[in-house]
Amino acid sequence: MEQIKELKIKEYQSIPVVVGESDSVYDAISAMFLEDVGTLFVVDESSHLAGVLSRKDLLRASIGNQDLESMPVSIIMTRMPNITVCKKDDLLIEVASHLIERQIDAIPVVNEKENNRYEVVGRVTKTTMTKVLVHLIHSELPQGGKRS
Amino acid sequence: MEQIKELKIKEYQSIPVVVGESDSVYDAISAMFLEDVGTLFVVDESSHLAGVLSRKDLLRASIGNQDLESMPVSIIMTRMPNITVCKKDDLLIEVASHLIERQIDAIPVVNEKENNRYEVVGRVTKTTMTKVLVHLIHSELPQGGKRS
C-alpha cells in the first residue's frame, strides 16, 4: 500500500486535447466529440494555458440560443488563475484528492515557463484514477508504478 | 490489498438522479445542472429503468437545431438492453473494470424485478472510483469497507 502513495502523475497522464482561445464554441464541441474527451484545455497564441472547457460549459453555452460558430471559447472557459494544474512529478494521490475536493473532472499536467505561464503537456482525469484503481487491485501496475 | 478486492458496490453507491422517458431534453439538461451529475437514468411509467442519458448525449442533441422542449429524452437516450447495470452486492472492482472497458461514465445500481425489469436504486461513477482510490491510500475506508 505504501507503494501506491509514491505513484507519480507522469506514469499515468494522458495526451491533452487543446483548442485555441479564439476558436469557436462550435469547433470546441466538434473537437470534444472527435477526440472523445470530457475536458478541453484552451491555449493562447503562444501555446500557453489560458483556460479549461468542460462538457458542462459547452452544454450551458449550447442551450443559450446564441450562434456557437461566432462565439469564441474564451467567453465561456474557466480562466487562469482559477485553474487547478499539476506537474509530472506530483503525486497521483494528491491530484486525485484535488479532483474530488474541487469537484472537477480533469486537471492539465503542465511545465512551468517564465512569467507564471504554463505549457500543457498532459491530462489527468477521473478515468485515469479509475484505471489506476483497477490496475492496483489486479496487481498490474504499469512499469512506471513498479519502479517507485 | 486483498481487502480491496472484497469491497461491495452497496458501500459506495450514490443516490441516482432519474427523469421520466416522456420528459423533454430541455428538462433533462435542467436536471443535470440542478443536480450537478454527469449522467441521468431514465425510467418508464412504472418506474423501471428505460435508458441512460450522458452529458454527451445531451450536448449532441442541443447542437442539433431542434426544439429541446418538445423532444422527449426517449429519442436520444441509450436504451435497455444496451445498458450496463450492476447490483448492490457486486464487487466494486468489477464495476470499475466495466466503466473502463465499456468507456462509460456511470452505471446504475439496480434491483431486479419480474420480467427482466430493473428498479434503479443507486449510481456508481468514475467519481465514486476516484473517491475510493483516495480513501484507500489515506487508509480511510468507510465503515462498510472495513467490515469485509
Which pLDDT does position B140 carry in this prediction? Answer: 53
In angstroms, the Cα distances linking A138 to A96, B53, B76, B131 are 19, 30, 36, 18
CB contacts, 8 Å: A60 with chain B? 33
Over 80: is that where the pLDDT of A8 sits? yes
DSSP state at residue A82? S
Check CB contact of A30 with chain B, cutoff 8 Å: no
Segment A90-128, tens digit of pLDDT: 999 999 999 999 999 999 999 999 888 999 999 999 999
- Interface probe with B: pick from A59, A95, A124, A138, most Cβ of B within 10 Å: A59
Of 3.50.50.60, 3.10.580.10, 3.30.1370.100, 3.40.50.620, which CATH number belongs to B2-147?
A: 3.10.580.10
Q: What is the pLDDT of residues A41-66, one digit of tens each?
A: 999 999 999 999 999 999 999 988 78
CA distance B123 to chain A (A): 15
A121 touches chain B (CB under 8 A): no
Q: Which residue has the higher pLDDT, B41 or B146?
A: B41
The residue type of A129 is M
Does the beta-carbon distance from A1 to B137 stay under 8 Å?
yes
A55-62 and A25-35 helices, crossing angle to 10°: 130
Matching residue, cell 431514465: B42
Give the residue with greater pLDDT, A112 vs B116: A112
Long-range pairs of A140-144 with CB within 8 A, sequence gap ≥ 24: A141/A3, A141/A7, A142/A11, A142/A12, A144/A7, A144/A8, A144/A10, A144/A11, A144/A12
Question: Average pLDDT for residues B85-100, to the nearest whole number?
Answer: 97
Would you call A40 an interface residue with chain B, using a CB distance cutoff of 8 Å?
A: no
ipTM over 0.85 threshold: yes
Q: Using CB atoms, pick whichever of A56, A58, A130 lies closest to residue B130.
A: A130
Using the Cβ of A32 and the Cβ atoms of chain B, whether some distance falls under 8 Å is answered with: yes
The answer for residues whose C-beta is within 8 angstroms of residue B18's C-beta and 6 or more apart is B40, B41, B42, B43, B120
For residue B115, the distance in angstroms to the closest alpha carbon of chain A comes to 33
Task: Return phi, psi of residue B93, to 5°.
Answer: -65, -35
Task: Judge contact between A60 and A37, C-beta under 8 A.
Answer: no
